[in-house]
Amino acid sequence: MDYRRLGRSGLKVSELSFGSWITYGNQLDANAARECMAAAWDAGVNFFDNAQVYAAGKSEELMGEALKKLGWPRLKYVVSTKFFWGITDGPNERNTLNRKYLLDGIDGSLKRLQLDFVDIVYCHRPDPNTPLEETVWAMHDMIERGRALYWGTSEWSAAEIMGAWEVAERHHLRKPVVEQPEYNLFHRERVEKEYARLYDGIGIGLTTWSPLASGLLTGKYRDGIPPGSRGAMPRMQFLVKDLTDKAKNRAVAELDRVAKELGCTLAQLALAWCAKNPHVSTVITGASRPAQVKENMKAIEVLPKLTAPVMARIEAATAGVAQ
Ligand SMILES: NC(=O)c1ccc[n+]([C@@H]2O[C@H](COP(=O)([O-])OP(=O)(O)OC[C@H]3O[C@@H](n4cnc5c(N)ncnc54)[C@H](OP(=O)(O)O)[C@@H]3O)[C@@H](O)[C@H]2O)c1
């Protein structure tokens, strides 16, 4: 496993990392969650992604328990959390990045994670109802108070990220160093076009999410929704249309042929493709069982096989279905 700088910051993260959305507290209990983290760690992963809203705080609790049991030295791993949607009801508790919510939220997350600080804290979505200056100052203060080391955004527009950076520059505050966008073979526009000026311009790194498009890029949805998959979960029905999209699954079949020729699985090919982009600091993987983690981590062995001709075939396979 190689380690890449988180944008222009000095923090190094493993090129593949592991996140807990949907799985922790829903599909994975404490033991299985810990086993998945251990499998990732054994493969060289040092970054574990979380969010306040995942399983309404339960995901942070499970990760906290796992970290305690695993007993790794704090210097050796990087943990993140994110804020926006909130987990309790009230005018300052939902869909906000105001100062009151953010500074209260981090304390709750640290308690659940059983940590003194998180390494990265994200503003999980933009908040049009809070002045950017207020949010940037709150993130700066979170860091100054020792609750977090770095901060960033998730699914903010390039203009919003630039705006936050400029506020921080103007007031000599801690700047955002990372954005967390969706990025996979079918979802590329923002990372490849909209953010293009942010990389060299202000040194933003990327920790990208849903590298397998929620499992579509494993090929498991080619004949419908298999039982026990994410697509079969009642609360994930909003994904079904996309997971069973005929054109995308035709592309998946062609990508599978490329993977077979390279001697890897489709999931490994799709993950390696994300990691191939030099602007990606880390590809955040997800898994509902340890065997998936083990398979997915081997994607790094596929990276050197992604030569120009192979990339051209991948490009051709996804032409017309990638956004
Ligand atoms: N910032 C944000 O807004 C945001 C949003 C979403 C995610 N994230 C982060 O990104 C992480 C990854 O996202 P994601 O979970 O959507 O990633 P993903 O790679 O697109 O999907 C992961 C899911 O695909 C299936 N899968 C994974 N490997 C497989 C394999 N080898 N064979 C068959 N099935 C496999 C599993 O689901 P089943 O086995 O249940 O089918 C697994 O839970 C999250 O945990 C979270 O940390 C961030």
Q: Which of 54, 150, 183, 195 is catalytic?
A: 54
Active site residue 183: no
CA of 21 to the centre of ligand 1 (A): 7
State which ligand 1 atom lies nearest to the alpha carbon of 20.
Answer: 45
State which ligand 1 atom lies nearest to the alpha carbon of 220.
Answer: 33
8 A C-beta contact, residue 262 and residue 305: yes
What percent of the chain is helix, strand and coil (3-state, nearest 5)? 50, 15, 35
CA of 118 to the centre of ligand 1 (A): 22
Query: Nearest C-alpha to atom 31 of ligand 1 is from which residue?
Result: 292
State which ligand 1 atom lies nearest to the alpha carbon of 212.
Answer: 20
State which of 209, 220, 268, 280 you would mutate to test the pocket of ligand 1, scoring each by most atoms of that ligand within 8 A of its C-beta: 209
Residue-level pLDDT at 208: 98
Which own/partner pairs from 29-34 qualify as long-range (CB within 8 Å, at least 24 positions apart)? 29/62, 30/62, 30/65, 30/66, 32/289, 32/290, 33/62, 33/63, 33/66, 34/65, 34/66, 34/69, 34/70
Give the tens place of pLDDT for each residue, 224-262.
Answer: 999 999 999 999 999 999 999 999 999 999 999 999 999
Q: Look at residues 125, 124, 126, 109 and name the one whose alpha carbon lies nearest to residue 56.
A: 109
Query: Nearest C-alpha to atom 47 of ligand 1 is from which residue?
Result: 19
Residue-level pLDDT at 24: 87
Residue-level pLDDT at 168: 98
Residue-level pLDDT at 66: 97
The whole model's pTM is what?
A: 0.98
Banded model confidence at residue 195, pLDDT cuts 50, 70, 90 = very high
pLDDT exceeds cutoff 90 at 322: no
- 25 CB less than 6 Å from ligand 1? no
Region 2-19: mean pLDDT is: 98
Region of 320 on the Ramachandran plot (φ > 0 left; ψ -120 to 50 alpha; else beta): left
pLDDT exceeds cutoff 90 at 32: yes
Q: Look at residues 14, 35, 41 and name the one whose alpha carbon lies nearest to residue 284.
A: 14
8 A C-beta contact, residue 81 and residue 109: yes
pLDDT exceeds cutoff 90 at 207: yes
Helix or strand or coil: residue 47?
strand
Sort strands 12-14 and 3-5 into parallel, antiparallel or unpaired.
Answer: antiparallel
CA of 3 to the centre of ligand 1 (A): 21
Query: Nearest C-alpha to atom 45 of ligand 1 is from which residue?
Result: 19
State the first-to-last Cα distance of the chain, in angstroms, to the nearest integer.
29
- 212 CB less than 6 Å from ligand 1? yes
Helix residue ranges per DSSP H, the chain: 30-42, 58-70, 99-113, 132-144, 158-171, 189, 196-202, 240-243, 246-262, 266-276, 290-297, 308-318
Burial class from Cβ neighbours inside 10 Å (0-12, 13-18, 19+) for residue 65 reads middle
Mean pLDDT taken over the chain: 97
Region 32-45: mean pLDDT is: 97
Residue 244 CA to residue 227 CA, distance in Å, equals 14
Give the tens place of pLDDT for each residue, 174-185.
Answer: 999 999 999 999
Provide the CB-side half-sphere exposure for 220 (13 A, CA). 17
Site of tokens 């920790």: 207
DSSP conformational letter for 13: E
Q: Look at residues 35, 56, 43 and name the one whose alpha carbon lies nearest to residue 17.
A: 43
CA of 18 to the centre of ligand 1 (A): 9
Give the tens place of pLDDT for each residue, 40-97.
Answer: 999 999 999 999 999 999 999 999 999 999 999 999 999 999 999 999 999 999 999 9
Burial class from Cβ neighbours inside 10 Å (0-12, 13-18, 19+) for residue 89 reads exposed
